Amino acid sequence: MSQAPSFSVISGAQVSRVLRGQEKRVVELIETAYRTHGLGRTVNPPSYFLRFEDRPTARIIALPASIGWPANVDGLKWISSFPENVASGLPRASAVLVLNSPATGYPFACLESSIISAVRTAASAALAADRLAKGRVRPARVGFIGTGLIARYIHTYLTGTGWDFDEVGVHDLSIEHATGFKSYVEGSGGRARVRGSAEELIRESDLVVFATVAGTPHVHEPAWFEHNPLVLNVSLRDLAPEVILSAVNIVDDVDHCLKADTSPHLAEQQVGHREFLHGTLYDVLTGAVDVPADRPVVFSPFGLGVLDLAVGKHVYDEIVAAGELQVVPDFFSELHRYGSPR
């Protein structure tokens, strides 16, 4: 009989220790995952959204996925978004990631995953910014619309992978959150300025990061982007179709991104086709598409479960190598087909 499967729990503190200061390494992992996905060596079915009639702003999302070599793991991210948490001081999102053996199907680890989710989102944004900025003047002014956890991680990953900004613009519907983010930027050695409106921030930024909880578009004017900035449309629903249709559009995965009333999905519904899409990030990585510098460029990442698996498996392997894996004794109790021998 083969060795009995075991099950481990990896805490958020352990995840944080493994990933802290590893921005360049994680971006490499994310690039490898995108290339693996582009080569067809992943399974990434549609996400499943659990919604609630009595809590219309809340949702819990299941992201099943499988990724081949070098991560070689199956699994599921289960992530909740409860925006009302913010008012009570709790983060909006919480998550776990379950890793399954591709050989037996047995789950072998459960990881706290809000950090993994934020890291893979930030690394994806940093990778896209770097590759999409080629062929144009490298952005020196970045602006953040939305100032929560994801914005903070994106800023960390941009600066941690070599970006140096003259100024960081900040805009949020909550002045308290905007000033808090400004303090964070200044505390990390940057120069920040709170902008009074989304228009002001966009017009004064070469790189614009949308990291809000907006459910419907609130930015409608293509003229705000006439200086041709690079836009990281991370929160996916801030931009109206007319802005999308006026820009060069790069997505992480076409079928995933054009659903659930994202900005590109709304644009598709309006015009009845997908010809406004320039290509995917994989196309950019492989040189299959060239990104023009004379139009605004919008990167819209739906967020692929295979990215979470790539980062999660890396964390698991590092914890194992450090001898810090916390195995749950007797997690699997029925391992004999005809009952335990007496």
Residue 62: which region, alpha, beta or left (left: phi > 0; alpha: psi -120 to 50)?
A: beta
Concatenated DSSP letters for 225-279? GTT--EEEETTSSSB-HHHHHTSEEEES-HHHHSSTT-HHHHHHHHHSS-TTEEE
pLDDT digits (tens, 9 = 90+) for 301-324: 999 999 999 999 999 999 999 999
pLDDT digits (tens, 9 = 90+) for 214-233: 999 999 999 999 999 999 99
- Tokens for 79? 């992530």
Q: Where residue 21 falls among pLDDT bands split at 50, 70, 90?
A: very high
User: What is the reported pTM?
Assistant: 0.94
Residue 1 in this model has a pLDDT that exceeds 60 = no
Residue 92 in this model has a pLDDT that exceeds 90 = no
pLDDT digits (tens, 9 = 90+) for 243-271: 999 999 999 999 999 999 999 999 999 99
Share of the chain above pLDDT 70, in %: 99
Task: Answer whether 179's CB lies under 8 Å from 196's CB.
Answer: no
Task: Answer whether 171's CB lies under 8 Å from 143's CB.
Answer: yes
The pLDDT assigned to 340 comes to 66
Residue 4 in this model has a pLDDT that exceeds 80 = no
CATH of domain 8-116+305-321: 3.30.1780.10
Do 8-116+305-321 and 120-300 come out as alike in CATH topology?
Answer: no
**Who has greater pLDDT, 129 or 339?**
129
Exposure string for 43-55, b = 16+ CB within 10 A, e = fewer: ebeebeeeeeeee
SS3 139: coil
Q: Where residue 89 falls among pLDDT bands split at 50, 70, 90?
A: confident
**Who has greater pLDDT, 3 or 65?**
65
Domain 120-300: CATH superfamily, name plus number: NAD(P)-binding Rossmann-like Domain (3.40.50.720)
pLDDT digits (tens, 9 = 90+) for 62-82: 999 999 999 999 999 999 999
Q: Where residue 342 falls among pLDDT bands split at 50, 70, 90?
A: low
The pLDDT assigned to 91 comes to 87
Domain extent listing, the chain: 8-116+305-321, 120-300
Residue 87 in this model has a pLDDT that exceeds 90 = no
| φ/ψ (deg, to 5) at 131 | -75, -35
The pLDDT assigned to 3 comes to 73
146-174 mean pLDDT: 96
For the chain, the average pLDDT equals: 95
Q: Which residues make Cβ contacts (< 8 Å) with residue 109, sequence separation at least 6?
A: 7, 8, 9, 10, 98, 99, 312, 316
